[in-house]
Structure 1
Amino acid sequence: MGIIETLNQWDTELFLYLNSFHNSFWDYTMTLFTRTEIWLLFYLVIFITIIRKYKRKSLLVFLVITLLIILADQGSGILKHSIERLRPSHDPYVAPLAHNFFKKGGLYGFVSAHAANSFGFAIFSVLLFRNRIFTVFMITWSLLIASTRIYLGVHYPGDILGGIILGSLIGWGMYRLLLFLEAFMRPRKPEFIIPMENKRVYNIILAAFVVIGFSMLVVNFFLKHHMFA
């Protein structure tokens, strides 16, 4: 057996092990967590924080973030169709053994766009904010988003790892681009290397916990009242 085949086998075995832990509560909760819309409040607080801290320069930050998301999303799509590795939900040998919930996703899965987007945004914002508390929180948040894809049965751990690497590289590159653009503008005082204050970071973390708590309460309420089919 070659190296690639061995790695694929290990990846499949790890996927089936991690994917085997599930119940109705986490099925619906993970489905909410994997949706971008559920995190709108979280993103809104981050964007407001950026606007308050960087004022006019926030437009430059948002421009770079937009480019980051495009590169992460399109880059993962290009790799998917170049490598053509079937998602576990579409693999005829793996799908019958897996717990697939909500959607099967597209045909190919390497690399995970969710992992690329979440880690790209996380690494960029971590470098921008330069706050230890925020760093720990954002990496944890990114891992949560990425792990939902394994739980829901649409990505192997290897797909997630590939997305993490791709997204991290893009996030780092976009931050370097931001520094270059700021230097090109010849500011009197460079601002994108100044650490974010803890009080601003706490607001972001609070928003995330509000989203998480609200999602879990909603799922618990509907399950208790048998409102999920």
Structure 2
Amino acid sequence: MDINTLIDIDRQLLLSVNGSESLFIDGLAKTLTTAGTWIPLYLSLFYIVLKNNDSIQKILLILGGAGLCVFLAGTLNDVFMKPFVMRWRPTHDDVIGQYVDVVNGYRGGKYGFFSSHAANTFSIAVFFALLTKSRILSITLFTWSFINCWTRLYLGVHFPGDILCGLCWGGIVGLSIGFIYFRVKKQLYSSNSYISSHYTKTGYQKSDVDIVLTVFMLTILYSILRACCYLYI
């Protein structure tokens, strides 16, 4: 199977999941893909880091790891990879661009390989999954990442191949930064293993972790209510 065949398959897959006749789903996808929608989730993650680490050095180490995830997964991609590969987004593609369902005129930038939404969110999800060793938080953050991936396909601003490569790169970045974090932490601080119904294996209070889940669910509820407004515009 040559590269042109793979590109054609990618195009057909995109058209099969892009858009719908529903104004509600249009509004939901547009709301969920907006970075500002997820600010409460970012703040809740910041909160559990502050609450469950007893020194500014530990907090800065974690924030530095999260920042590196965003930089390596998304920023470098936007600055170097997309301009280097120069693969058009579906909305600008000369073959299927006219068939892509566009929501409120949103087409994104010119180039889309690979998806920074997929890479950024998945790198953060993997990093915090390793950091907290919480199953419920891991499931929540992976769901958050996959929701963001779906919005990019629905809105027609990324091909499935862009999403898949973004997830792969984000996973590599998240795992790598997580590995480096634990190596550095082991050198600087003594490591404790927690066996308790109130704490995760790495010492995060489960009640604090539940706050992230609550914020996530409230954000989804807000997005649904916001999407309902599209029905009356």
Structure-2 residue corresponding to 1:73: 74
Candidates 135, 143, 146, aligned match of 1:143: 146
Distance in 1 separating the partners of 2:100 and 2:25? 15
Aligned residues between the structures = 223
Of 112-121 and 102-111, deviating more is: 102-111
| SS of match in other structure, 2:90 | coil
Structure-1 residue corresponding to 2:7: 8
- The 5 A counterparts of 1:99-178 are 99-102=101-104, 103-178=106-181
Distance in 1 separating the partners of 2:191 and 2:123? 26
Deviation of 1:218 after TM superposition, in Å, equals: 2.5
1:40 aligns with 2:39: yes
Deviation of 1:217 after TM superposition, in Å, equals: 1.1
Structure-2 residue corresponding to 1:85: 87
| SS of match in other structure, 1:89 | helix
Distance in 1 separating the partners of 2:226 and 2:30? 12
Distance in 1 separating the partners of 2:227 and 2:20? 18
Unaligned runs of 5+ in 2: 194-199
Q: In the alignment, is the contact (CA less than 8 A) between 1:182 and 1:190 conserved in 2?
A: no
Distance in 2 separating the partners of 1:72 and 1:25? 31
Distance in 2 separating the partners of 1:223 and 1:189? 50
Distance in 2 separating the partners of 1:67 and 1:6? 36
Structure-2 residue corresponding to 1:64: 65
Cα deviation code 1:177-219 (max 9, x no counterpart): 211221232x233579616443222211110111110121123
Q: In the alignment, is the contact (CA less than 8 A) between 2:125 and 2:142 conserved in 1?
A: yes
Q: In the alignment, is the contact (CA less than 8 A) between 1:124 and 1:174 conserved in 2?
A: yes
TM-score with structure 2 length normalisation? Answer: 0.89
Structure-2 residue corresponding to 1:24: 23
1:218 aligns with 2:217: no
Q: In the alignment, is the contact (CA less than 8 A) between 1:22 and 1:151 conserved in 2?
A: no
Cα deviation code 1:8-53 (max 9, x no counterpart): 1111111000114341111111111111111111111111011111
Distance in 2 separating the partners of 1:111 and 1:39? 21
Distance in 1 separating the partners of 2:134 and 2:203? 6
TM-score with structure 1 length normalisation? Answer: 0.91
Distance in 2 separating the partners of 1:22 and 1:72? 33
Structure-1 residue corresponding to 2:196: none
RMSD between superposed Cα atoms in Å: 1.8
Candidates 195, 199, 203, aligned match of 2:207: 199
- AA aligned to 1:19 is N
| SS of match in other structure, 1:106 | coil
Structure-1 residue corresponding to 2:96: 94
Residues 181 and 216 of structure 1: is their aligned pair in 2 closer, same or farther, counting only changes over 3 Å?
same
Unaligned runs of 5+ in 1: none
Distance in 1 separating the partners of 2:208 and 2:67? 22
Distance in 2 separating the partners of 1:30 and 1:128? 29
Of 199-208 and 70-79, deviating more is: 70-79
Distance in 2 separating the partners of 1:223 and 1:108? 28
Cα deviation code 1:115-151 (max 9, x no counterpart): 0100010010111111112222221111001110011
